[in-house]
């Protein structure tokens, strides 16, 4: 089988552990692993897989947004020398040129991804001459899993699920450093967690039922950080990858990765330091709100509840008071 027909997609909501997982998988030498979050399934798909855009517009989108903006931002976070960074950026430029040489005018989703990944391999991993497959992570992929399987029948998905209260606590910790750039106030980010975060967890349940355990695997963040050896052996077996100790150390393009924790904590391997820390990281009313909106999925994945139904309902009501008047409307 051509390696391009054997994709592995890492799924899950932002700050749920997906970046940690892709950087644990970076240590393998059997699959081409795209670093960090490619952004493909929110920067390109589905809008640009359309005849509305010509080939130049499509390649510009990939080169300008996914490679020059997103990938080069990731490269700048790698702990390497200035000379090594220049070499990595040169590889990114070559990656971009490979994409620009392609004709994407009539390209399907599968066509674009194959061109994209093969261009990446040729630029960053030319010595991997016979990869068994490739691995990509975008924090939206689970939403499009059924679309993907239509074009990649052999596709597999590894979906990371995290306690939504801890997930929200992690997002909160990044308000000043990152998320204030994209939201006008913390409540907007909170609403995104409720809508997008819950959708992702619901998709995990439905995708597992639709695709089956041979194509879809759910990994709890808490299992990954508390028992990384067993969990990574399980993930490697599902993917079809040989397990090795490198899968227990985080890296990006072979360079040590110390995490994307907003509190400044540095890790080179999975850590459970933030498991169940929502109790000290977010207000109780926020946890009540998450328990209200994530009630069914929390039950499904075995997360315990800490508040009464009345407390959670009150928190949801109070949040809706903001939501009801958070967008312009007409009194007419």
Evaluate if residue 118 carries a pLDDT over 90: yes
Evaluate if residue 143 carries a pLDDT over 80: yes
Handedness of CA 182, 66, 49, 216 (dihedral sign): negative
What is the predicted pLDDT for the residue at 327?
A: 67
Integer Cα distance of 35 and 260 in angstroms: 13
What backbone torsions phi and psi does residue 108 show, to the nearest 5 degrees?
A: -80, 175
What is the predicted pLDDT for the residue at 282?
A: 96
Integer Cα distance of 332 and 328 in angstroms: 12
Q: Which residues pair with 76 in a beta bridge?
A: none
What is the predicted pLDDT for the residue at 270?
A: 86
Could you tell me if 156 and 216 are in contact, meaning their C-beta atoms sit under 8 angstroms apart? yes
Question: How confident is the prediction for the chain on average, in pLDDT?
Answer: 93
* Order of strands across the sheet that contains 216-220: 31-33, 133-137, 7-11, 156-161, 216-220
Average pLDDT rounded to a whole number, residues 216-235: 97
Q: Where exactly are the structural domains of the chain?
A: 3-324
Evaluate if residue 207 carries a pLDDT over 70: yes
What is the predicted pLDDT for the residue at 245?
A: 95
Q: What is the pLDDT of residues 148-203, one digit of tens each?
A: 999 999 999 999 999 999 999 999 988 767 777 777 788 999 999 999 999 999 99
Burial track 171-181 (b if 16+ CB lie within 10 A, e otherwise): bbbbeeeebee
Integer Cα distance of 87 and 251 in angstroms: 17
What is the predicted pLDDT for the residue at 214?
A: 97
Integer Cα distance of 1 and 6 in angstroms: 8
In words, the CATH class of domain 3-324 is: alpha beta
Average pLDDT rounded to a whole number, residues 37-59: 96
Q: What is the pLDDT of residues 255-268, one digit of tens each?
A: 988 766 656 666 67
Report the candidate in 290, 158, 305, 174 with the shortest Cα–Cα distance to residue 220.
Answer: 158
Integer Cα distance of 203 and 159 in angstroms: 10
Q: At what angle do helices 164-173 and 284-293 cross, to 10 degrees?
A: 130
Q: What torsion do the CA atoms of 23, 25, 27, 33 make, to the nearest 10 degrees? A: -90
Integer Cα distance of 157 and 155 in angstroms: 7
Share of the chain above pLDDT 90, in %: 84
Q: What is the pLDDT of residues 274-323, one digit of tens each?
A: 899 999 999 999 999 999 999 999 999 999 999 999 999 999 999 999 98
What is the predicted pLDDT for the residue at 332?
A: 40
- Among 62-76, 103-117, 257-271, whose mean pLDDT is lowest? 257-271
What is the predicted pLDDT for the residue at 330?
A: 45
The SS3 assignment for 157 reads strand
Evaluate if residue 74 carries a pLDDT over 80: yes
- Give whole-number Cα distances, 48 to 7, 91, 108, 120, 149, in Å: 20, 25, 10, 19, 19
Evaluate if residue 128 carries a pLDDT over 90: no
């Amino acid at each position: 089988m051509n390696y391009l027909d054997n994709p592995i997609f890492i799924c899950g909501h932002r700050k749920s552990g997906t970046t940690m997982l892709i950087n644990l998988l970076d240590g393998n030498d059997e699959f081409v692993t795209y670093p960090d979050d490619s952004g493909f399934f929110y920067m390109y798909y589905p809008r640009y897989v359309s005849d509305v855009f010509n080939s130049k517009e499509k390649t510009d989108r990939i080169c300008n947004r996914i490679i020059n903006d997103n990938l080069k931002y990731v490269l700048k976070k790698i702990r390497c020398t200035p000379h090594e960074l220049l070499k990595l950026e040169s590889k990114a430029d070559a990656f971009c040129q490979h994409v620009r040489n392609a004709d994407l005018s009539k390209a399907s989703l599968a066509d674009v991804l194959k061109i994209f990944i093969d261009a990446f391999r040729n630029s960053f991993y030319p010595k991997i001459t016979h990869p068994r497959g490739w691995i990509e992570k975008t924090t939206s992929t689970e939403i499009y899993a059924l679309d993907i399987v239509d074009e990649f029948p052999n596709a597999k998905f590894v979906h990371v699920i995290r306690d939504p209260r801890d997930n929200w606590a992690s997002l909160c910790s990044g308000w000043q450093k990152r998320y204030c750039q994209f939201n006008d106030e913390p409540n907007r980010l909170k609403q995104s967690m409720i809508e997008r975060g819950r959708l992702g967890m619901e998709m995990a349940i439905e995708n597992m039922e639709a695709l089956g355990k041979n194509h879809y695997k759910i990994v709890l963040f808490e299992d990954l950080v508390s028992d990384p050896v067993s969990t990574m052996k399980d993930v490697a077996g599902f993917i079809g990858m040989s397990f090795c100790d490198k899968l227990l150390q985080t890296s990006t393009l072979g360079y040590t990765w110390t995490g994307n924790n907003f509190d400044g904590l540095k890790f080179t391997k999975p850590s459970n330091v933030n498991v169940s820390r929502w109790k000290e990281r977010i207000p109780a009313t926020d946890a009540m709100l998450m328990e209200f909106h994530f009630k069914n999925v929390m039950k499904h994945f075995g997360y315990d509840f800490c508040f009464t139904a009345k407390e959670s309902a009150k928190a949801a009501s109070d949040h809706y008071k903001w939501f009801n008047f958070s967008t312009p409307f007409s009194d007419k």
